[in-house]
């Protein structure tokens, strides 16, 4: 089982670190610190699955997505895509992978060039990655627009002529037109209204099935992640706190941070309302993370040990890992 699972991994991330230098001064900048946006993350994404990444701002979830598509440079660790190492590649050597891994951003207002028509936006990746005759390109663009619920006659229009939901459809079409194996969706529905959010989530579900997509779905919204993911990783200050199958993670969270996050989901149903765990304070600076367990400064269960030593990430069940000294309490 474990070997076939390893074979099925499309993306394999080992001890990935992304550190950003903190500089002060304009003329002769001095290094005054290091922001550890990602500080040792290991996970794998299986072919065909949706892996959800949740965490607060500053947890490193977006940095992880950007590192996978080559938009953030890893400081250490490895990213293997389909068995091939992606870190350390030159821009040129990386290029073949760019069409295999695509990204959809949160804000469809700023991620589409306002001076390009929909046709230009969708045909640009085709021009870069595939040499197709012009007629064939137009056919592909029209076909893709249809797949995302728009019409071929929208090709000549500009982004400002579309609503937020329609723009997100264009962004999805742009990501999928080169037929990628892996799609990173970074908060793709967070800027949308509730009724439109459901349409886009349905679209992603349909396209996933149709194209056999593998997806990393990044969101701060735990209900949305629960809806769409097969497995979920919870990040905090650049580390994975917990990683489990969707149903296990939400039913039996083993990390105090996950437990607090899940309890903080506002519920419409008064009967479903559980005791709320309100965490104190806010996420510490990733330039100066707490000693030991990074979460101990906000944890309701923290003991002396937590400030002293960092808990390893351990498996408590076949598909359930948690990085807490006391996870066995809830196991």
Partner 1 sequence: MEKTEEKLLDIQDLRVHFHTRHGVVKAVDGVSFGLERGEVLGIVGESGSGKSVTCLSVLGLLPAPPARIESGRALLAGRDLLTLDAESLRRVRGKSISMIFQEPMTSLNPYLKIGVQLVETLRAHEAIAAEAARARAIRMLDRVGIADAGIRMDGYPHELSGGMRQRVMIAMALLTQPDILIADEPTTALDVTIQAQILELIRELKAEFGMAVILISHAMGVVAEMSDRILVMYAGRVVEQGNPGEIFRHPAHPYTKALIDSMPNPNASADRLPAIAGTPPDLARLPAGCAFAPRCGFARPVCRETDPDERTRPASETPALGAPEALTRPGSPTRSAEPGHAFRCHVDI
Q: How near is the Cβ of 281 to partner 1 at its closest, in Å?
A: 9
The answer to whether residue 279 forms part of the interface with partner 1 (CB under 8 A) is yes
Contacts of 21 (CB under 8 A, 6+ apart): 31, 33, 34, 35
Can you state the angle between helices 134-147 and 118-129, rounded to 10 degrees?
120
Among the candidate windows 73-81, 133-141, 170-178, 266-274, which touches partner 1 by CB under 8 A? 266-274
Exactly one of 25, 83, 133, 266 binds partner 1 (CB under 8 A); that residue is 266
Among the candidate windows 84-92, 94-102, 226-234, 317-325, which touches partner 1 by CB under 8 A? 226-234
The answer to whether residue 288 forms part of the interface with partner 1 (CB under 8 A) is no
Exactly one of 89, 116, 152, 198 binds partner 1 (CB under 8 A); that residue is 198
Q: Cβ closer to partner 1: 47 or 227? A: 227
The answer to whether residue 127 forms part of the interface with partner 1 (CB under 8 A) is no
The answer to whether residue 110 forms part of the interface with partner 1 (CB under 8 A) is no
Exactly one of 34, 138, 265, 307 binds partner 1 (CB under 8 A); that residue is 265
Among the candidate windows 19-27, 36-44, 124-132, 262-270, which touches partner 1 by CB under 8 A? 262-270
How many residues bind to partner 1 according to rule CB under 8 A?
42
Q: Cβ closer to partner 1: 145 or 189? A: 189
| Antiparallel, parallel or unpaired: β 314-317 and 182-186 | unpaired
The answer to whether residue 227 forms part of the interface with partner 1 (CB under 8 A) is yes
The answer to whether residue 260 forms part of the interface with partner 1 (CB under 8 A) is yes
Q: Cβ closer to partner 1: 9 or 235? A: 235
The answer to whether residue 229 forms part of the interface with partner 1 (CB under 8 A) is no
Separation of alpha carbons 119 and 329, rounded Å: 56
Q: Cβ closer to partner 1: 114 or 270? A: 270
Exactly one of 283, 299, 302, 306 binds partner 1 (CB under 8 A); that residue is 283
Quick one: CA torsion of 295, 296, 298, 304, rounded to 10 degrees? 170
Q: How near is the Cβ of 158 to partner 1 at its closest, in Å?
A: 17
Q: How near is the Cβ of 277 to partner 1 at its closest, in Å?
A: 8
Identify whether the C-beta of residue 320 lies closer than 8 Å to the C-beta of residue 244. Answer: yes
Q: Cβ closer to partner 1: 119 or 250? A: 250
Exactly one of 83, 271, 274, 304 binds partner 1 (CB under 8 A); that residue is 271
Q: Cβ closer to partner 1: 7 or 206? A: 206
| Footprint on this chain of partner 1 (rule: CB under 8 A) | 56-57, 163, 165-166, 193-199, 201-202, 205-206, 220-224, 226-228, 250, 260-261, 264-271, 273, 276, 278-280, 282-283
């Amino acid at each position: 089982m474990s070997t076939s699972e390893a074979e099925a991994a499309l993306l394999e991330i080992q001890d990935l670190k992304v550190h950003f230098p903190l500089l002060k001064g304009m003329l002769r900048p001095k290094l005054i610190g290091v922001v550890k946006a990602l500080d040792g993350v290991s996970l794998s994404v299986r072919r065909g699955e949706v892996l959800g990444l949740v965490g607060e701002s500053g947890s490193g979830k977006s940095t992880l997505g950007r590192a996978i598509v080559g938009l953030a440079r890893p400081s250490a660790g490895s990213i293997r895509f389909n068995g091939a190492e992606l870190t350390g590649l030159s821009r040129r050597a990386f290029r073949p992978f760019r069409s295999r891994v695509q990204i959809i951003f949160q804000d469809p207002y700023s991620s589409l060039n306002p001076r390009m028509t929909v046709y230009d936006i969708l045909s640009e990746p085709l021009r870069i990655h595939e040499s197709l005759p012009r007629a064939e390109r137009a056919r592909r663009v029209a076909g893709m627009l249809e797949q995302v619920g728009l019409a071929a006659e929208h090709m000549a229009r500009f982004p400002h002529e579309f609503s937020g939901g329609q723009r997100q459809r264009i962004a999805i079409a742009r990501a999928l037109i080169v037929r990628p194996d892996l799609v990173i969706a970074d908060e793709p529905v967070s800027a949308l209204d509730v009724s439109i959010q459901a349409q886009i989530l349905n679209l992603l579900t349909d396209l996933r099935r149709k194209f056999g997509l593998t997806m990393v779905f990044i969101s701060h919204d735990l209900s949305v992640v629960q809806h769409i993911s097969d497995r979920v990783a919870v990040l905090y200050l650049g580390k994975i706190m917990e990683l489990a199958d969707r149903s296990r993670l939400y039913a039996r969270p083993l990390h105090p941070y996950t437990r607090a996050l899940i309890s903080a989901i506002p519920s419409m149903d008064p009967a479903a309302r559980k005791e709320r765990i309100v965490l104190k304070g806010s996420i510490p600076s990733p330039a100066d993370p707490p000693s030991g367990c990074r979460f101990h400064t906000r944890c309701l269960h923290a003991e002396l040990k937590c400030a002293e030593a960092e808990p390893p990430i351990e498996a408590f069940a076949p598909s359930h890992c948690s990085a807490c000294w006391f996870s066995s309490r809830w196991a």
